[in-house]
Amino acid sequence: MSRRALVAALCLSVAVVAAGCAAPGGSGDSAPTLTATDATDANALIRAHTETLRSNSFTARSKTTARDANGTFRVVTTQTWRVDPGRPVRASATRTHAVVGDAPDRYEQRPDEVTAWRRGNETTVRVESGNDSRVHAVALLNSSVRLNQALHRQLLYGLSASRNATVENVTRNGTRLYRVRAELNDTHVSSNASMTLLVDPEGYVRQVETTRTVAYRSGPRVVTRTVRFSRIGETRVERPPWA
């Protein structure tokens, strides 16, 4: 083999190895993008999470449960985002809610389902209530398919107000993860707050759980939320037939 061919082969080998190290969902044998220390640093965590998911398609699922302190009602809101951050950005988001018990009227009046679709900066929303369905265009800033919202950056930033944060190594389906547990500082509207995260060393958060007691005018409510990120690099986002 000539010297030029040998150099080219070595360069190709290095490129292939580097690509394998960078791709999410690998074996975890290579040096991690995130260290255990990074996993408890809100800024480092959000930066790695954002950079990883801005170059890979992903699915995010959220479940939020709010119940009053007396246990007279419970409101459960579920949301799913499917995002392909390529150009043009394509994304869909669906939100539903269920009410159990004697909840305030405003919860009962919410639509059964709201679905948003985005291609580039164009967004369309379908609102379903009972047998009625309405479709209309909306401004991107008023829609639920913004990338930062799907990434849940604001939720993750709550880690910056943590105390007594601990991190440990755990294994899920053969993959090594960091589990971060933290108590959060009280604010003028919330107390008894805590956060638990499962962080993939390859650069993104797999799951975040939060719980807190929130002060409402009608009385305190316990709010719990779980967000899971999955199908990294494998999520397909297709235009719905109504858009």
Q: What is the 3-state secondary structure (H, E, C) of the chain?
A: CCHHHHHHHHHHHHHHHHHHHHCCCCCCCCCCCCCHHHHCCHHHHHHHHHHHHCCCCEEEEEEEEEEECCCCEEEEEEEEEEEECCCCCEEEEEEEEEEEECCCHHHHCCCCEEEEEEECCEEEEEEEECCEEEEEEECHHHCCCCHHHHHCHHHHHHHHHEEEEEEEEEEECCEEEEEEEEEECCCCCEEEEEEEEEEECCCEEEEEEEEEEEEECCEEEEEEEEEEEECCCCCCCCCCCCC
| φ/ψ (deg, to 5) at 114 | -125, 125
If one counts every other C-beta atom within 10 angstroms of the C-beta of residue 59, the result is: 18
Rounded Cα distance between 240 and 243, Å, is 6
Residue 24 has what pLDDT? 55
Residue 33 has what pLDDT? 86
Q: Token pair of 212, please?
A: 């807190």
pLDDT tens column, 11-34: 433 333 333 333 454 434 445 789
Residue 131 has what pLDDT? 86
pTM: predicted TM-score of the whole model, two decimal places: 0.84
Residue 43 has what pLDDT? 96
Residue 160 has what pLDDT? 95
If one counts every other C-beta atom within 10 angstroms of the C-beta of residue 84, the result is: 19
**What's the whole-number mean pLDDT along residues 182-192?**
95
Strand order in 190-200's β-sheet? Answer: 132-138, 122-129, 113-119, 90-101, 73-84, 58-68, 219-230, 204-216, 190-200, 175-184, 162-172
17-21, 214-218, 236-240 — which is least confidently predicted? 17-21
Residue 31 has what pLDDT? 56
**What's the whole-number mean pLDDT along residues 123-139?**
94
